[in-house]
Amino acid sequence: MRIALINENSQAAKNSMIEAALKEVVTPMGHVVDNYGMYAAEDEAQLTYVQAGLLAAILLNSGAADFVVTGCGTGEGAMLACNAFPGVLCGHVVDPSDGFMFAQINDGNAIAMPFAKGFGWGAELNLKYTFEKLFGSEPGNGYPPERVVPEQRNKKILDSIKKITHTDMMTILKTIDQDFLKATVSGAKFKELFFANCKCAEIRAYIESVLA
């Protein structure tokens, strides 16, 4: 699985800590981490939490990533931004039990974490333990065991509803403010990571035209 890490501007200084905790946990599992930044508060390409949601949607809908780890000060804004887009099912994950239950019950493809609120002493341990529970077992198995069947049924219903209630990704890319879109995909390593892993020719071509 290819996991993308995205940090918005208010918490960019913590990017290296989050990346280190994520890689420590998931690399031995055979997963790959792509760090899309921001890498520091002073980065030339600045990302708001809304842009983090748009970037997550581009990566997931194009196949450039299978899962996105993002967040903001509270995690709430990033979660709302991610869920505004098609093909993204993002949970608000604070601790290991959240990580485990989101993976098993909701089986989504993105999480938004609070990187300021409650992010004090031992924060790096909470990150590590949360990633262990989030990625440490096959998702979608349900919890508790007696709830497996209705939970899996509800997940399918939610996926089908999102397909109806969301505009397709290409329509969004073509109609969203193009300066906002270009700023979102102008990160220092975006081209290197995205174009090497994008699986959707249509999205790839459009992003290329935006960056041209």
Split at pLDDT 50, 70, 90, the class of 145 is confident
Q: What is the pLDDT of residues 164-206, one digit of tens each?
A: 999 999 999 999 999 999 999 999 999 999 999 999 999 999 9
* pLDDT at position 89: 98
- Would you say domain 2-211 falls under CATH 3.40.1400.10? yes
CA distances from 24 to 18, 92, 132 (A): 10, 22, 10
**In angstroms, how far is the first alpha carbon of the chain from the final one?**
30
Q: What distance in Å separates the CA atoms of residue 210 and residue 212, rounded to the nearest whole number?
A: 6
54 SS3 class: helix
Split at pLDDT 50, 70, 90, the class of 105 is very high
Instruction: Give the contacts of 93 (CB within 8 A, at least 6 positions apart).
Output: 75, 99, 102, 111, 112, 113, 130, 134
Q: What is the pLDDT of residues 42-57, one digit of tens each?
A: 999 999 999 999 999 9
- pTM over 0.85? The answer is yes
